Structures are given as structure tokens and as C-alpha cells.
Amino acid sequence: MYCHKGRNVPNFKEAHIGIVKDPSEDRNGVCGECHDEITDTYYNSIHYTIAGIKNVMQAYISPLPLEKSPLVRAFKTDCNHCHASCGSCHVSRPEATKGGLLGAHRFFKEPPMDKTCYGCHGARTSGECIGKISHYSVGDEEIPDIGDTADVHFYKYQMVCSDCHKGERMHQEMENPAKARFYNMPSVECKDCHEAAATGSDEIPMHSAHPPETIACSVCHASGGYHNCFECHLLVTKAGKVPIPVSESKIMFKIGLNPDRGPNNNFKYVLLRHSPVLPSSFSVLGVDLGPNFGKLHTWAPIEAHNIQRKTKQNADCNSCHGHSELFLSEDDVKSGSKADKASIPKVPAPVENKNEKN
């Protein structure tokens, strides 16, 4: 009764008068009574505000404010499901996975990743990490798993999400919500644990073959492909009310020039993932992304979560050099934004000595 309010009476309807579905939704609510050092920052964090999604949507329709655009409907009915209160991780499953208690109303200090993190960061992250890249079509009709390569941190060392993504980062306040994540807050970096490898000061020659911040670690160490979504549209259900995202997904691996270099991602060459948006996306809502679509990148930088020490592309220098299929090309950007052309790199030529060991 203390957290959810309501009335302690036997009648169902009367008992639910004044009920509070999610007591942790209110920044001045019950969580802050004991955990004010966390709630003081969390309610301005990227998980609570989902400013990252909001900023992208705003960029497509600018200068029209999102709040005055028909696109706000999609944001509230679909994208906003990614919004997470304290209880979304520590008491129940996220709303995006239709909720439900994690374990008989137990409070989990460290959320179980398979019931929380996986729900919102599905095939694009958790699927890569555990070696099962899956996705869904309309109506949640499951499509068979694609790929079988798990992240070495997961399968060899049994690491969980919170081993890298610490609570203080999850609860961290965004300094400027209007800026992109890489410009806004520190991210987990490979060098946090592998400083010698990242600086080229270990025994592996390949780590010092290129100048610092030339190549993101995942370019060499991501094993296999990862999800890329295309042709995402918003359809309308038979009831004519709730938009449903539909997308074609492809498992691809593309190295490209970093279109969004910033203080927390300053590598020249990175892995790029296609974003599921076209000018016709959201057209059922009367929104035209045409004016700004060509100015924004549909191939965006990522850090893949399927890391291995030895991969196909790092066996030796010429496992990458000269392999045009690994790099973003003109064919890849045909259906995307004009801005993507700036991310197409020159494919490095093969080198004479190809006996370097990783």
C-alpha cells in the first residue's frame, strides 16, 4: 500500500482507486527516499529520457518541433516503450517486453540481463553477444536464429552486461540531452581493460601497425556479421490506431569512415550499421522526412558485441587489405542517404608481408 497506494479494502474496484502502477516513474517518489544519490541523476539519464531516439527523430523533421509533428504519435506509441523507470530494471521486465515481475516482486540490485537488458537491446546487442542473432516480423512471428558466434567475454569468461556497463554509467546524467551520445557521456571502451593492446604496447605487432585511433578495435575483432535493418515503415493495424514498425534485416559486416567522430569515438575507421529509415518511413502519419533525410547518415557507427580475439579479417594483414566486400561501397548506399557517400573508404591495397600474427 505504501508504494502503489490504492485502498486496503476487499472490493476490487475500490481497492484500485488511486493506484500507482509504477511508483518509480516519479522522480520524487519512493525510490528517491533511500537512493537519492542515484535518482538525482537517473531521471536525466539516457535510459529514462530516451533522448537518443528523440534527437534522431527531431533531426529528421527539423526545424518543426517534434511535439508539433505527427511523428510525435510514433514516438509516444512505439519509441517511448524503450523508456525505463527504476522498476523497469530492478523489479519487473521492461514495458517493451510487456512487463511482468522478475521474481515475485523481489528487488534485484543487479538486474538479470536475460530478463531486462535483452528485452530492449535484443538481436542488435544481446543476440550478437550470446551468438543467437534473431529478429521478428509483424505479429511477433519469430524468424529462425541467424549466426552462431558468441562474444568471448560471454562464452569464455561468463561476463554479464553489468560487468562492462556499470550502474554508475546506467544512472549517469546526460550533460546536454540535445547532443548525440558519443559527444554527451563517456562510453565503455576496450582500452578500459585492454590498455596495452589499444595503445600498441603489447607483444602483438598488428596492434601497432596503424597510428592510434585509426581503427576501432571491433573492426578487427568483431566475429562475423551483425544486424542491419532496411526499409522500415510504420503500418497501421486493423484498428487503425497503433503504428507497427516493419523492417527487412540483413546480417552484414561493413567497415567505413566514421561519420560521427567525437570525444568518445574518435576512430577514423569503424564498423557501420544501417539504420531502418527511409524518406517514406512514417508516411502513414503524414510526415515527410525528405527535406532532412539526405543530410543525415543511415549508416551509423557501432561497437559490435560479438568480439573474438581471432577473426576471419584479422588472420593477417591481407585478410582485410584488398577485401572490398568488407568495406562500405557505392552499392551499399544506393537506398540510403546522400550523406552516406562520405563514409565510403578507399579499400586498402594488399601488402607484401602477410605473416603478421594477431
263 and 242 housed in the same domain: yes
The total number of structural domains that make up the chain: 2
What pLDDT score does 203 carry?
92
Distance CA 95, CA 83 (A): 8
Out of 28-32, 114-118, 146-150, which region has the weakest mean confidence (pLDDT)? 146-150
For residues 125-136, average pLDDT: 72
Q: Could you write out the three-class secondary structure of 274-285?
A: ECCCCCCCCHHH
Contacts 24+ apart (CB under 8 A), 318-327: 318/350, 318/351, 318/354, 319/354, 320/220, 320/255, 320/348, 321/347, 321/348, 321/349, 321/350, 321/351, 322/347, 322/348, 322/349, 322/350, 323/347, 326/253, 326/254, 326/255, 327/254, 327/255, 327/256
327 and 301 housed in the same domain: yes
Distance CA 273, CA 298 (A): 8
141 and 160 housed in the same domain: yes
134 and 255 housed in the same domain: yes
Whether residue 61 is contained in a domain is answered as yes
What pLDDT score does 235 carry?
59
| 187-220 pLDDT tens trace | 788 999 999 998 899 999 999 999 989 999 999 9
4 and 79 housed in the same domain: no
Domain range for 10 is: 1-34
For residues 322-337, average pLDDT: 93
| 245-290 pLDDT tens trace | 666 778 889 999 999 888 778 999 999 999 888 787 777 777 777 7
Residue 119 parent element (H or E): helix 117-120
182 and 237 housed in the same domain: yes
Q: Which of 231, 230, 294, 234 lies closest to 71 in space, CA to CA?
A: 234
* 350 pLDDT higher than 50: yes
Contacts of 321 (CB under 8 A, 6+ apart): 347, 348, 349, 350, 351
What pLDDT score does 208 carry?
93
Out of 95-104, 133-142, 157-166, 317-326, which region has the weakest mean confidence (pLDDT)? 133-142
217 and 240 housed in the same domain: yes
pLDDT class for 144, splitting at 50, 70, 90? very low
Whether residue 243 is contained in a domain is answered as yes
* 139 pLDDT higher than 80: no
Q: Which of 260, 254, 339, 329 lies closest to 297 in space, CA to CA?
A: 339
What pLDDT score does 27 carry?
85
Distance CA 305, CA 308 (A): 9
pLDDT above 90 covers what percent of the chain?
Answer: 43
For residues 322-333, average pLDDT: 96
59 and 175 housed in the same domain: yes
139 and 285 housed in the same domain: yes
Whether residue 133 is contained in a domain is answered as yes
74 and 25 housed in the same domain: no
| 57-75 pLDDT tens trace | 888 888 889 898 888 888 8
Q: What is the DSSP letter of 125?
A: I
CA dist 276 to 8, 143, 228, 273, 323, Å? 48, 18, 8, 10, 26
23 and 42 housed in the same domain: no
What pLDDT score does 317 carry?
94
* 33 pLDDT higher than 50: yes
Whether residue 115 is contained in a domain is answered as no
Do residues 178 and 187 make contact, with C-beta atoms less than 8 angstroms apart?
Answer: no
pTM: 0.86
Whether residue 43 is contained in a domain is answered as yes
226 and 339 housed in the same domain: yes
**What number of other Cβ atoms are within 10 A of residue 184's Cβ?**
22
| Mean residue pLDDT across the chain | 84
What pLDDT score does 61 carry?
87
